[in-house]
Amino acid sequence: MKRYVPVIAIALLASGGAYAQSINIGPGGVSVDPRTPHERAIDREMRHERYERAREREWRRANYRGDDCRTVTTERETPRGVVRRTTRVCD
């Protein structure tokens, strides 16, 4: 028993630096993400910036007011009531 105590202590100290940040279980099987929290934060920030750029681009595209665009509203009756659909048409 006295022999096992130092071995267990050394094993615990040696394996302290190797730990998984996240474990993902999905359709592709089990995967371990060994990135540090700092690396994960950088990746999250990059995804956020990419999302913001795409969102701004969509906003600009939707709100662009050219001289040759008009808004067309069509109404049609369905069994559940009147359905209005508004579309922008640019000539």
**According to the model, what pLDDT value does residue 32 have?**
85
pLDDT at 16 over 70: no
**According to the model, what pLDDT value does residue 7 have?**
75
Adjacent-strand bridge partners of 69: 90
pTM, two decimal places: 0.41
pLDDT in tens, 52-85: 999 999 888 877 766 677 889 999 999 989 999 9
Adjacent-strand bridge partners of 89: 70
Q: What is the mean pLDDT of the chain?
A: 82
**According to the model, what pLDDT value does residue 28 have?**
86
In whole angstroms, what separates CA 1 from the centre of its chain?
51
Adjacent-strand bridge partners of 73: 86
Q: Helix, strand or coil for residue 88? A: strand
**Residue keyed to tokens 């934060």:** 41
Alpha carbon separation from 32 to 20, 29, 69 (Å, rounded): 6, 10, 51
Q: Helix, strand or coil for residue 16? A: coil
